[in-house]
Each structure stands twice: as C-alpha cells, then as structure tokens.
Amino acid sequence: MISTVSFHPFISHFSPALFVAGLLLLFLAHKRNDEKLKSAGAFNLSLGLFAAVIADFSGMVSVDINLRSVVEIEGHQGYAFLFTILYGFSAGYAYTNTFSRTAVGFYLAGLLAMGITLFSGNRLVFLANIF
C-alpha cells in the first residue's frame, strides 16, 4: 500500500509535466494551425489539472506528520493552490478561447506559479535535510 507521504511526491510530478507539454502542444498548434495539436494540448491540460487536484489533496494529508515548520508548509501549499487555480483557468481557456490575450496571460501566470511551487517544494525536500 502506498502511504500518503510517498504518494504526494509520486503524483505531484505529473501536473507540471503535463502543463508544460500542453502549452508546447498549444504553441505548435498555433504555429502550424493544426486542430489536432490544439485538442491534444487542451487534453494534456485537463489531465494535468486532475493530477494537480490530487496532488493538492495528498499534500494536505501528508503535512500531518509535522516534519517541517508551518511557514514552510503553508507557503508551498499556497503556491500550489494558486497554481491549481491558474491551471483550471488555463485548461478552460484551452477549450474555449485558446489563443486570446487573456488565455496567454493565464498560461504565463501558470508557468510562473508552477516555477515558484516547484522551487518551494524543492526547498522542503532538499534544503530542510541540510540543517
């Protein structure tokens, strides 16, 4: 059986990978004017959003262990929640108004939030073990 402690790191890698892959497919669809690539990019964003929600819930369950400080955990959770909200808007715009300025803004904001979330998660795993 997979415990919640080991399940969160397992599932949390899917959402950033699918987000970047979805955006790359949307970019290629825009350059090549290909509807199939556009559909594939939107589908990647949908699967990634599902993985992000699961990662959020598994992360909330994992913090009951009290191995880290509250500030470190809540910072990472806040960024992850922001990333999930932006992910939802990005997935919605990928299906409705894929290449609008608002959609591109959500895609870029999602990339920024993803980077901050990954950085804070990295610090939780690797930096905390140094001290």
Global pTM exceeds 0.95: no
| 91 closest CA partner among 109, 107, 79, 111 | 107
What's the whole-number mean pLDDT along residues 122-131?
Answer: 70
H-state helical runs in 33-100: 35-62, 70-96
Between CA 23 and CA 38 the distance in angstroms is: 9
Q: Which letter, b or e, does each residue of 12-26 get, where b requires 16 or more Cβ atoms within 10 Å of its Cβ?
A: bebbbebbebbbebb
Residues 6+ apart with CB under 8 A from 127: none
- Give the per-residue pLDDT at 1: 41
User: What confidence tens digit (pLDDT) does each residue in 51-83 have?
Assistant: 999 999 888 877 655 666 777 788 889 999 999
